[in-house]
Structure 1
Amino acid sequence: MNRSDEERLTDIVMGDAVLQLLQKAGPITNSALLDKLRFMASMESNSTRQKALQRAMAEVMNNMQSSNTEGVTIKDTNNVTHIFRNRDNTGKDTQH
């Protein structure tokens, strides 16, 4: 699979944002990543990187929207995240 230079740069700026969040030892959430990308975009003067940051933000927002419609995420008392996904099963094929 050939990835375009735009896609590679988008992955790079998203990786940079994640690394900055990891260095601060803060939570790595969609919201935190989106905030970091917005901050990076506000400081960026290079138009090519600016476009890559915009694509990265759009990707995170799309992920946030699909996560909200696909299921529920619950953290238990041990800070373990459990993800319950909505499946389009009517129960007809379910065997218990």
Structure 2
Amino acid sequence: MNRSKDERLTDIVMGDAVLQLLKKKGPVTNSALLDKLRLMASVEPDSGRQKALSLAMAEVLNNMQPATQQSMALKDTNNVTHIFRNRDNTGKDTQH
């Protein structure tokens, strides 16, 4: 596992951002993580960490689902996760 210095630093800054979100007991979502990374980048003086923060933001953005493929996950009382996907926004094919 030969990870580059940039990749390791990217993992570190992303981990720092997640830990900060967890400490504030806020939601750990892609958008919350992206906001935290942007905030960290806005005050980071070190150019190496700036680059790592940019790479981390790009990674989060690449993993976010497009609006047309949003899904919602709900857990029931048996701790079973049900995933509902929005496959068609038109509603024309819905039969009730």
Query: Per the shorter chain, which TM-score range?
Result: 0.7 to 0.9
Aligned pair in 2 of structure 1 residues 34, 68: CA closer, same or farther (>3 Å)?
A: farther
Distance 2:9 2:31 in 1: 21
Distance 1:7 1:13 in 2: 10
Q: Which aligned pairs between 1:20-39 and structure 2 lie closer than 5 A?
A: 20-39=20-39
Aligned length: 84
Offset at residue 54 of structure 1 (A): 0.2
2:89 corresponds in structure 1 to none
Q: Which aligned pairs between 1:1-80 and structure 2 lie closer than 5 A?
A: 1-65=1-65, 69=69, 72-75=71-74
* Deviation readout 1:12-70 (Å, 9 max, x if unpaired): 0000000000000000000000000000000001000000000000000000037964x
TM-score calculated relative to the size of structure 2: 0.74
Distance 1:36 1:49 in 2: 14
Offset at residue 72 of structure 1 (A): 2.1
SS at match of 1:3: coil
TM-score calculated relative to the size of structure 1: 0.74
Distance 2:45 2:81 in 1: 38
Distance 1:82 1:51 in 2: 38
| Identity within the alignment, % | 70
Aligned pair in 2 of structure 1 residues 2, 66: CA closer, same or farther (>3 Å)?
A: farther
Q: Which aligned pairs between 1:78-93 and structure 2 lie closer than 5 A?
A: 82-83=82-83
RMSD: 2.7
Aligned pair in 2 of structure 1 residues 58, 66: CA closer, same or farther (>3 Å)?
A: same
